[in-house]
Amino acid sequence: MSNSGRISQSAFDGSRLRVILLLDLYEGAQQQFLDAYELMCKQVASVPGHISDQLCQSIENPSQWLITSEWESAPPFLAWVNSEEHVETVKPMHSCVRDTRSMRYSILRETGPRRPLAPEHAPSRHQVAARVGDGAARHALTFTVKPGSESKVAELLAGYESPEAQVDENTRLRRTSLFMHGNRVVRAVEVEGDLLAALRHVARQPEVRAVEEAINPYLEQDRDLTDPESARLFFTRAALPAVHHVVSGRPAPDDVRRHALYYPAKEGRGMELARLLAHQDAAAADDPASPVYGSTVFQRDDIVVRLVDLTGELDADPVASLGLKGPGTAAELERLLDGAAIGVEGSLETERNINRLLSHADMLPVTDRSSAVS
């Protein structure tokens, strides 16, 4: 990592991944949980990139359990955990579990006896250097609304009162940015401290609950937020994880503005497209002449959204704004992007199509709210 950039999250460094899932079970649900775990193990064992997993039970509180798994790298895990197959696989666990908490870590160092990995897992890969972050976690949700309801939904989502930013002494909502592209809604949050605690805090706020209920009739996917299973499935399917975040090391200019760009990928190409944009933004953060001051790339399946903080106008440098700097980048994006889905077809090497892509990818800003530092 260059000293001129600050990366707080990246799924693309190639290092092995350790996933930790903390679970609190209902009393009497242990055997049901073990049966569900065995079924899940059989499913995940065949997932590309999976190396191993362990199930542990607390020696102090028998209702507390721990599942750890190791993966060749973050991308195959993210592809699995965000898949519909995974949603269906873990359903039997829901009635056993009172609470869960998932954590994902790149492996930086290892000590102790070394056991050689199977040939397909060698050589062992570690994160090269510790990342430098800004104390914030980032996450997004995306969902679609019924065609024709876009303006009403935008009005509802822009008009509600902001929830209390301070969650507890260690956690605070820093920023919420909400955009729309046609009938697709993307809501991105930045949180200092515990992301899960912040999301739960927001969900409990009366003003947020009211607006969520108000948009229910307009959603393409039905949900009932009073039903825990319905709410869990909706938010699981709506999750749009941050796979890369970078900020330039130079002082923040006064004219930085936030934009969101939507890049629908060809089927099965979402992770490749996210990786391409992440690499482009990492290079831009090291370039003092680039208008890209910082960016976060979100990806799930074939949905890729790039939240980018730019100096100047979005269309002042379309190539930089889209993340197309460098030889061959436009052709690579053309290979991965579902241009027809976004209304842009033909070569991205032409100025006309680059401008069309920027215009069609640019998402409508609905609201962008930052909380003051207390």
Each residue's pLDDT tens digit, 194-242:
888 888 888 888 888 899 999 999 999 988 888 888 888 888 889 999 9
Q: Which among 104-113, 229-238, 320-329 has the top mean pLDDT?
A: 320-329
> pLDDT band for position 127 (50/70/90)?
low
Tell me the pTM: 0.89
**pLDDT above 60 (res 251):** yes
Give the residues across from 362 on adjacent strands. 261
Question: Is the CB of residue 313 less than 8 Å from the CB of residue 359?
Answer: no
Residue indicated by tokens 């965000």 = 82
Question: Is the CB of residue 216 less than 8 Å from the CB of residue 157?
Answer: no
Strand order in the sheet with 64-71: 50-57, 64-71, 17-25, 97-106
DSSP E strand boundaries for the chain: 5-10, 17-25, 50-57, 64-71, 97-106, 136-144, 172-181, 184-192, 239-248, 256-264, 292-300, 303-311, 364-370
Please compute the mean of the pLDDT values over residues 3-14 and round it to a whole number: 69
For residue 369, give both structure tokens. Answer: 């709210």
34-38, 122-126, 188-192, 208-212: range with lowest mean pLDDT: 122-126
CA angle 339, 344, 348 (to 5 degrees): 85
Pairing assessment for the beta strands 50-57 and 256-264 based on DSSP bridges: unpaired
For residue 294, give both structure tokens. Answer: 């910082």
Specify whether the backbone of 268 is left (phi greater than 0), alpha (psi in -120 to 50) or beta. Answer: left
Which of the pair, 253 or 241, is modelled with greater confidence? 241
> pLDDT band for position 6 (50/70/90)?
low
Instruction: Please tell me the distance from the alpha carbon of residue 262 to that of residue 359, in angstroms, as a whole number.
Output: 10
64-78, 81-95, 209-223: range with lowest mean pLDDT: 81-95
For residue 176, give both structure tokens. Answer: 């919420």
Please compute the mean of the pLDDT values over residues 329-346 and round it to a whole number: 92
**pLDDT above 80 (res 371):** no
CA torsion angle for 292, 294, 300, 301 (degrees, to 10)? 30
Please compute the mean of the pLDDT values over residues 101-115 and round it to a whole number: 81
Average pLDDT, the chain: 88
Please compute the mean of the pLDDT values over residues 240-267 and round it to a whole number: 92
> pLDDT band for position 123 (50/70/90)?
very low
pLDDT for residue 3: 45
pLDDT for residue 124: 53
pLDDT for residue 128: 62
Provide, rounded to the nearest whole percent, the portion of the chain with pLDDT above 70.
92
**pLDDT above 50 (res 2):** no
> pLDDT band for position 32 (50/70/90)?
very high
**pLDDT above 70 (res 114):** no
Three-state secondary structure call for residue 187: strand
> pLDDT band for position 276 (50/70/90)?
very high
Task: Count CB-CB contacts under 10 A for residue 107.
Answer: 15
